[in-house]
Amino acid sequence: MSDEHKRLEQAREFWARSPRQRTLTQLLAAYQTGSFGPEQTATVLAERHQALGESASHSIISRDDAGMSVQAAAQQQLKAAATSLPLGGVPVSIKDLFDETDMTTLAGSRALAASQPADQDAVALSRLKAAGILHAGRTSMSEFAFSGLGLNPHVGTPPNPFDGERITGGSTSGGAASVAFGLAAATLGSDTGGSLRIPAAFCGLTGFKPSQASVPGDGAFPLSPSLDCIGPIAPSVACCRLLWEVLSGEVADPTPLTRPLTLLVPESELVSEVDADVAADFAALLERLEGLGVRLQRAPIEAIEAAYAINQRGGLVIPEAAAVHHELLAAHEAQYDPLIAERLNGGRDITSSEYLARLWPRTAIQQRFAQQVQDVDAVLMPTVAMRAPRRDLLEQDGALFAQLNKRALRNTSVFNYLDASSISIPAPAPQNEEPLGLMLSRPQGQDVALLRVAQALETLLAQ
Annotated catalytic residue 195: yes
Separation between Cα atoms, residue 295 and residue 258, nearest integer Å: 14
Whether 150 contacts 142, CB under 8 Å: yes
Separation between Cα atoms, residue 127 and residue 134, nearest integer Å: 12
Nearest residue to 203 via CA among 384, 395, 27: 384
CB neighbour class for 73 (10 Å; exposed up to 12, middle 13-18, buried from 19): middle
**Paired residues of 206 in beta bridges:** 234
Long-range contacts of 46-50 (CB under 8 A, 24+ apart): 47/12, 48/15, 48/181, 48/182, 48/183, 49/183
* Cα dihedral value 306, 309, 314, 320, nearest 10: 0
Of 59, 109, 126, 195, the active-site residue reads 195
What is the C-alpha end-to-end distance of the chain, expressed in Å?
A: 39
Annotated catalytic residue 226: no
**Paired residues of 229 in beta bridges:** 191
Classify 333 in phi/psi space as left (phi over 0), alpha (psi -120 to 50) or beta. alpha
Whether 208 contacts 231, CB under 8 Å: yes
Angle at Cα 145 formed by Cα 143 and Cα 150, nearest 5°?
Answer: 70
Of 147, 171, 173, 224, the active-site residue reads 171
Whether 162 contacts 281, CB under 8 Å: no
Instruction: Report the Cα 216 to chain-centroid distance in Å.
Output: 16
Of 95, 142, 214, 224, the active-site residue reads 95
Annotated catalytic residue 171: yes
Catalytic residues: 95, 171, 195
